[in-house]
Amino acid sequence: MSLLAPAALALSILALPLVALYMLRPRRRRLVVPSTMLWRTGDTTASSAVPWQPPRWSLLLALQLGILALLVFALTRPFSAEASLLGPHTVIVVDTSGSMAAAGRLDAAKGQALELVAEASDQHLVSIVDAGPVPRVILAFSADPHAAAEAIGELRAGGGVDALPEALRLARGLETPDRPTTLLVLSDGGDPEHRPVDEPIPNAVFLPFHERGPDVAVTSLVTDSSGRRVLVELANFTDAERRSNVEILVDGGLVARRPAIIEPRAHARLSFDLDAPPGSIVTARLAGDSGGWVDSNALDDTASLVMPGDDRHLVAVEGRGSVFLDALVASVPWLEPVSVGEADLTIVDGADRLPDTPMWLIAPTALPDTIELRGVARNLAVTYQRPAEPILDDVDLSGVVVGEAQWVEAPEWLTLVASGDVPLVLLGEVDGHRAVYFTFDLTRSNLPVEVAFPVLGARLVEWLVGGAGLDPVPEEAGAPLVFVPPAGATPIVTTPSGDRVELRPGTTTYADTALPGVYRVEFRLDDGTLVAGPTTVRTFARHEAGTPVHELATTPPRRTAGAGLSFREWAPWILSAAIALVVIEWWASHRRPKAVSS
C-alpha cells in the first residue's frame, strides 16, 4: 500500500492538543459524607479541583484518538496497485454463438466481463464487441463502469455460428495510436474447422470457457417428397446412452410423442406421419429427459419448419410474347403454361391491361398508378445492381445493354437494376399483388442471350409466387430475413421470443435473427390494415451443437510502465470506519451508566 498525499500525516500532531485537554480538564474527587450542615457555617471557600493530572486510560479518549487517526489516514489517500487485465484501452470480445449457451458458459463469461469493466476509468477505457453471427460493437471507448455493465447484461447466446474472425477484425478497427489497445477474447474457441481464426492472435489474452455437460440435439427436421411425413434426426454428443421423448407440434398443438434412445456419440432418426396444411409450422422438440440427466444446451433441443405448399404454379403470357419467354417458362419445372384466365401468375409483355394476379410487367403500355412515365432513354448499359440482394446473387448483368427503355419515376418501387438514373428492373406491388417491372422490351436488349437470364428469370418468378409468404427452406440462425413490403407499408417482425419489432417503412431486411425459431413478418398499410408477409425459420447451427471447445493461441500484449495495473484507493472505506467510531463515541459519552451515590 502506498500514499498519494503522505504530507497529510503531519496532521497527526493534532493528537497532542486532544491529550492535553484531557490532562487539564478539572477533576474532583467524590466523597460521601453524612451531612453538609456543618459546611454552611464556613466562611472560607475552598476548591478540591486538581489543575492537571497525568493521562490515564479513558474509553472516550481512545475513541477520539482513533477517529483522528482514521481521518488523517484518509487524507493521505492510501492506495494499492493490483494486477489487472485492463490496459489504457481494452476491447472485450464476447462470443455469443450457440455453443456458448451450453453449460452456463456465457453466464460465466458475462460474470468475468462484469468484474473487468468494474475497473473502467479515464485511465482504463473499455470497448465491447458482440461476436455473434453478425459481429457488432455495443460499446466504444467508455470510462463508465455502469454503461459497460449494462451493455454486457444485454448479451444473449443465440443459435448461430460464431464470427470470431470478423469480430477480431472489428476489434482491431477500434485501435487508436494514442492508447495501446489490448484484446480480451472471452470464448470457448469455437470450431476451428468451420470458422478458423488466424492464430496466434496478436496482442490479445484468451479467457477460455470450456464448461461441459450432456448434450442431445435435434440436428435436422425435414419433410419427405410427399409432404405428409417429417423426418427427425437426433444426435447424442456424450459418451453415455441417452433416453428422451420427441414431440411433434403443428402450429403449437401437440400431435405426436415418441420415446427415443440415442447411442453414445451416435445419431437416431425417427419419422412421423402427419397431415399438416401448407404454411403451417411444424416443430420437433426434446421433452421429458429420463435417466437423471439434464441437457446442457436448451437451444439445440428444438427445430421447426414451414410446411411447403403445392409447387405447381400456372402461368400465362399476355401480349407480344417471345421465344425467350417461352423458353424461360419451359425451363422452370414448377411452372405450367395456361391461358390468361386460368393463371395464378401473369407475364405481361407490352400489353395494355394489368391482371389481377402477381405479374411480371415488360414495358407495358398501361402503367400502374405508382409509376410515372417521364420519357424514353436509349443506348443504355447496366451501371447499378442492388447490393446484397438475394435475387441478384451470382447474377452478373454488367454486360447487358438496352437499346431503348421507358424512363420512369417510381419512388414507391425498389430498383434492382439501373443505368445511371434510369431504372431498368424494379420490384413493387400493384393492387395487393407482387409485381416485377422491366422498363424495356426484352427483344430490344441482349439480356435474353446472356447466361444470367435464366437464373434471373427463375428467381423473379419464384419471388412473385412467394406472395403467400411461405419459406419452406430454413436457414441457420443469424441469416437475415429479406422481404419486399408493399409500397409505404411498415414491416413488423415477430421473433421466436414473442417480441414484435416495428421497422422503418420501406425496410427490406431484418438482421437480428441469432435466436433460432420461427420469424413472422407482417406489413401495416397506411390505413392500419395488417397484411401477412413471409414466415420463415432460423435453425440452430449444426456446427455449434455438441459444445465444441478449442484453445485459441495468442501473443501477450506489450505492457508499458504502469500498464496492466489497477489502482484502488481506500479513503472511502477509511472514512466509513471513522463515521462508525463517531457513532460509537457519541453513544459512549451520552448513554454510559451514571455513578450512583448512597
pLDDT at 291: 60
Q: How far is Cα 159 from Cα 132, in angstroms, rounded to an integer?
A: 9
pLDDT at 249: 94
CATH for the 313-468 domain, from 3.30.70.260, 3.40.50.880, 3.40.718.10, 3.30.450.40:
3.40.50.880
Question: How much helix, strand and coil, in percent to the nearest 5, is found in the chain?
Answer: 25, 35, 40
Nearest Cα residue to 112 out of 86, 136, 87: 86
Within this chain, domains 85-212+548-563 and 216-306 share the same CATH topology:
no
Query: Quick one: 368 exposed, middle or buried, by C-beta within 10 A (0-12, 13-18, 19+)?
Result: buried
Q: Which residue has the cell 441469416?
A: 479
Nearest Cα residue to 123 out of 562, 570, 558, 559: 562
Q: How far is Cα 454 from Cα 448, in angstroms, rounded to an integer?
A: 8
Q: Radius of gyration (Cα) for the chain, nearest Å?
A: 39
Angle between helices 15-24 and 59-75 (to 10 degrees): 160
Strands 229-236 and 267-273: antiparallel
Enter the C-alpha cell of residue 298: 436448451
pTM, to two decimals: 0.62
Helix (H, G, I), strand (E, B) or coil at 584: helix
pLDDT at 467: 42
pLDDT at 69: 87
In DSSP notation, 15-58 reads: HHHHHHHHHHS-B------S-STGGGG--S-----BS-------
CATH for the 475-543 domain, from 2.120.10, 2.60.40, 3.40.50, 3.40.630:
2.60.40
Per-residue pLDDT of the chain in tens (598 residues, 90 and over written 9): 677 777 888 888 887 887 777 776 665 667 777 777 766 665 655 555 556 666 666 777 788 788 888 888 888 877 665 556 788 899 999 999 999 999 889 999 999 999 999 988 888 899 999 998 889 999 999 999 999 999 999 999 999 888 888 899 999 999 888 888 889 999 998 777 766 788 888 889 999 998 888 889 999 898 875 667 889 999 999 889 988 899 999 999 999 999 999 999 999 999 999 888 878 899 999 987 656 678 889 999 999 998 876 567 889 999 888 888 988 888 777 788 888 888 889 999 988 888 989 999 999 988 999 999 999 999 999 999 988 787 887 788 989 999 999 999 999 899 999 999 999 999 998 888 899 999 999 999 999 988 889 889 888 988 888 643 344 457 889 888 877 777 778 999 999 999 999 999 878 889 899 999 999 999 998 888 898 888 889 999 888 888 777 888 888 876 544 445 555 677 788 888 888 888 887 887 776 555 444 4
498: alpha, beta or left, given left = phi > 0 and alpha = psi -120 to 50?
left
In DSSP notation, 155-180 reads: ----SS---HHHHHHHHHTT-BTTB-
Q: How far is Cα 368 from Cα 426, in angstroms, rounded to an integer?
A: 12
Beta-sheet strands, E only, within 363-432: 372-381, 384-385, 401-409, 414-419, 422-430
Helix (H, G, I), strand (E, B) or coil at 552: coil
Residues comprising the chain, all counted: 598
Q: Where are the alpha helices (DSSP H) in 80-178?
A: 105-117, 145-153, 164-172
Residue environment code for 553-572, b if the CB has 16+ CB neighbours within 10 A, otherwise e: ebeebeeeeebbbbbeeebe
* Contact in structure between 439 and 424 (CB atoms under 8 Å): yes
Q: How far is Cα 222 from Cα 231, in angstroms, rounded to an integer?
A: 5
pLDDT at 566: 52
Residue 237, C-beta contacts closer than 8 angstroms, at least 6 positions apart: 214, 215, 216, 217, 265, 545, 546, 547
DSSP lists the bridge partners of residue 485 as none
Task: Count H helices and E strands in the chain, helices first.
Answer: 8, 32
Residue environment code for 465-485, b if the CB has 16+ CB neighbours within 10 A, otherwise e: bebebbbbebbbbbbbbbbbb
* Strands across the sheet containing 433-438: 335-337, 313-319, 345-349, 359-362, 433-438, 422-430, 414-419, 384-385
Q: How far is Cα 102 from Cα 295, in angstroms, rounded to an integer?
A: 9
Fold of 216-306: Immunoglobulin-like (2.60.40)
Domain layout of the chain by residue ranges? 2-33+47-81+571-591, 85-212+548-563, 216-306, 313-468, 475-543
279: alpha, beta or left, given left = phi > 0 and alpha = psi -120 to 50?
left
Give the CATH superfamily of 85-212+548-563.
Answer: von Willebrand factor, type A domain (3.40.50.410)
